[in-house]
Amino acid sequence: MDPRPTLVVIAHGSRDPRHAATVSALCARVRALRPGLRVEVGYLDFNAPRVPRLLERLSAEAAACGQGVREVVALPLLLTRAFHAKSDIPAVLREAAVRLPLLSIRRAAVLGPSPLLTAALERRLAQAGVRPGDPRPTGVVLASAGSSDPEAGAVLAETAREWRRTAGWCAVRPAFASASLPRTADAVRELRAEGIERVAVAPYVIAPGFLPDRIAAGAREAGADVLAPVLGDAPEMARLLLRRHDDAAADRARGDRTALSA
């Protein structure tokens, strides 16, 4: 068995059943990449198990087995540091650390930014028929769910700039399904107005749901040539989850039992 801490993936949850199915598929890919590593999923809302209940179960298992403290890496399944990463997830984990002394909880960093994410975006665009370096000039709309947190918006803008530089797209424009502007349809129209021949929309979201559907609707409304699938269980996503797990696990010796500020 893998000696490293149990990976607890913390997903937002959704009424849309495609969300939980996608999260499950991603975690299955993580398990396949590293057999023996225990991978569990907890949700903040809508789906079961909720994060507190999952952590209670892990603590009870540790008590029943008499194995002492169970080490856990709690990984927010988020692309940027916004409200959930800064507020409600830390609050849930701090409460659990106090209430469940048999758990040693370390919070991993959010997934983005990372070159693995842009590699996953390129994989999804390739599945839709678009690749960097194609002879036909292409502009890309990098469409996220959106956040009112200025840090999240700044990270997306920098991701767009870096992706354009490294991949050679004609342009990469950030867009948002909520909270911020521009919307996906507006970004598509802006690229058209600049004379860009082909416009592709790359959803910068992990799983289907209400806001990803809004991204897709905006792409159709503005007549985008290509709409890529969501990131989902792309192999790069699974590798990124393992990287965040390993980084947090490697740091555990440098902090105390409730090292939840990562």
CATH number at residue 189: 3.40.50.1400
| Per-residue pLDDT band at 3 (split at 50, 70, 90) | low
| Residue 120 belongs to some domain of the structure | no
Shared-domain flag, residues 91 and 150 = no
Same domain? For 137 and 184 the reply is yes
Domain span at 18: 6-111+234-254
Residues 93, 155, single domain; the answer is no
Question: Does residue 150 form part of some domain?
Answer: yes
In the prediction, which pLDDT does 212 show? 97
pLDDT band at 82; cut points 50, 70, 90 = confident
Residues 46-61 have a mean pLDDT of: 97
Question: Is residue 260 a part of any domain in this protein?
Answer: no
Does 107 lie in the same domain as 15?
A: yes
- Give me 115's structure tokens: 């070159």
Amino acid at 57: R
Residues 61, 14 share a domain: yes
- pLDDT level of residue 83 (50, 70, 90 thresholds): confident
- Distance of alpha carbon 247 from alpha carbon 258, whole angstroms: 16
pLDDT reading at 1 higher than 60: no
Looking at the predicted structure, is the pLDDT value of residue 32 above 50?
A: yes
pLDDT per position as a tens digit, 187-234? 999 999 999 999 999 999 999 999 999 999 999 999 999 999 999 999
Q: Are residues 145 and 168 in the same domain?
A: yes
**Domain annotation covers residue 240:** yes
The answer to whether residues 14 and 72 belong to one domain is yes
Q: How many domains does the chain have?
A: 2
pLDDT of the residue at 255:
54
pLDDT of residue 262: 38
Find, among 117, 114, 130, the residue nearest to 197 by Cα.
Answer: 130
Average pLDDT, the chain: 93
Query: 134 and 91 share a domain?
Result: no
Q: Percent of the chain at pLDDT above 70?
A: 94
Asked if residue 244 and residue 222 are part of one domain, the reply reads no
Distance of CA 68 to the CA centre of its chain: 32
Phi, psi dihedrals of residue 201, rounded to the nearest 5°: -105, 125
